[in-house]
Amino acid sequence: MTEVMPGPPVSLGEVTLRSRLPMWMDNLANNLPLVRDGLDLANLPHKKEPCLVVGAGPSLKHFNHLKMIADAGWKHTVICCDRVLNDALRHKIVPYAVATVDGSPQLLSFYSQPIVRKYAKEINGAFNVWTHPKVVKEWLNHAGKDKLYWFVPSVDNPANEKGGLNIRSLTYIFHLLSKGKGIISGLGNVGAFSVNLALALECEPIILVGLDFSEQVKDKSEAVYFDSFTAMFMQKYHKNPEQAQDKAADLHQLEHNPDFVCEEDDPPYYKKGEHPQYLVNPVWKEYRNMLASFIIASKRRIINSTGNGCLHTQAKNAEGGYVLKCPNFEAKPLKTVLEEYR
């Protein structure tokens, strides 16, 4: 949840760090022997070829993109986030790597299904050093140590203002504790991290599917961050819960994606012949903006084939400036891209 109340602005990363650090450190302490003796994600063999990055956004199921990928017989690299691993495997899409950024034990369900056990030894696990120990144990039981690669997420800048080493940096301290495991930005969520991983592996082009950074729920109250925003506004409107809910609803805005045109009706987000719509809030936009900055800096060709969502060529920040106006970012229907890179 990001800070939206009056007062000094607090970044999404700062709020996340404050709330999650105790859990992360507990996980890291339990994982440390495995981390120090384990493989470094920086040493995962690079794949200098086209790569599909598969997120778990609502468009993935809406467009049946996994079936489309499977039917196309995609032979190049696939990186998927943990949430979509089971569905990918059911479509016989075996990723080169599966990524986990979150430290929650709830991720255990993504790795405990029989189909994961069947394919685990063919997949490289890219795990945050503070992945929950239960999740780590589950993956090790199925895949083995030679399929578990660790990384240290960048939670602050390990460089000082002069470009030298900031020895007080949390990121640098975690790097030392992990016996020098590579540092890579998690970008706050597993979908964006998966794109960053594809960049690190020197893939090109990188094709995005399921990276909506937004929602398509029936009602705003069903949105992922709605309760969190409501709870935040209750601090100010504690005598009026309905007003707090109204304020939370105001933060969820309906927008359209100008890069795609709907081919069929599926209201309220898809109307044939019109641009698809999505529901977005400041949290999703901050995630989007962080990834956008990495895409621009990479100068690598990125093709967004998600089909909807707030990651698009006309995306703007709060000041009205374009966040993805760059020659290396474009949007194309997935079917077109799959035909192009058979």
Q: Which residues pair with 124 in a beta bridge?
A: 97
Task: Name the token pair of 208.
Answer: 């995005």
pTM of the model: 0.92
Q: What is the pLDDT of residue 21?
A: 84
Q: What is the pLDDT of residue 235?
A: 81
pLDDT tens track, the chain, 342 positions: 233 333 333 455 566 677 788 999 999 999 999 999 999 999 999 999 999 999 999 999 999 999 999 999 999 999 999 999 999 999 999 999 999 999 999 999 999 999 999 999 999 999 999 999 999 999 999 999 999 999 999 988 899 888 899 999 999 999 999 999 999 999 889 999 999 999 999 999 999 999 999 999 999 999 998 988 888 888 888 778 999 999 999 999 999 999 999 999 999 999 999 999 999 999 999 999 999 999 999 999 999 999 999 999 999 998 999 999 999 999 999 999 999 998
Using an 8 Å Cβ cutoff, are 257 and 308 in contact?
yes
Integer CA distances (angstroms), 320 to 99, 185, 315, 316, 323, in order: 33, 26, 9, 5, 9
Cα radius of gyration rounded to whole Å, the chain: 20
Q: Where are the domains of the chain?
A: 12-213+300-340
Strand, helix or coil at 243? helix
- Helix 133-143 to helix 12-37 angle (10° resolution) is 40
Q: How many CA atoms lie within 13 A of 332 on its CB side?
A: 17
Q: What is the pLDDT of residue 15?
A: 64
φ and ψ at residue 276, rounded to 5 degrees:
-65, 155
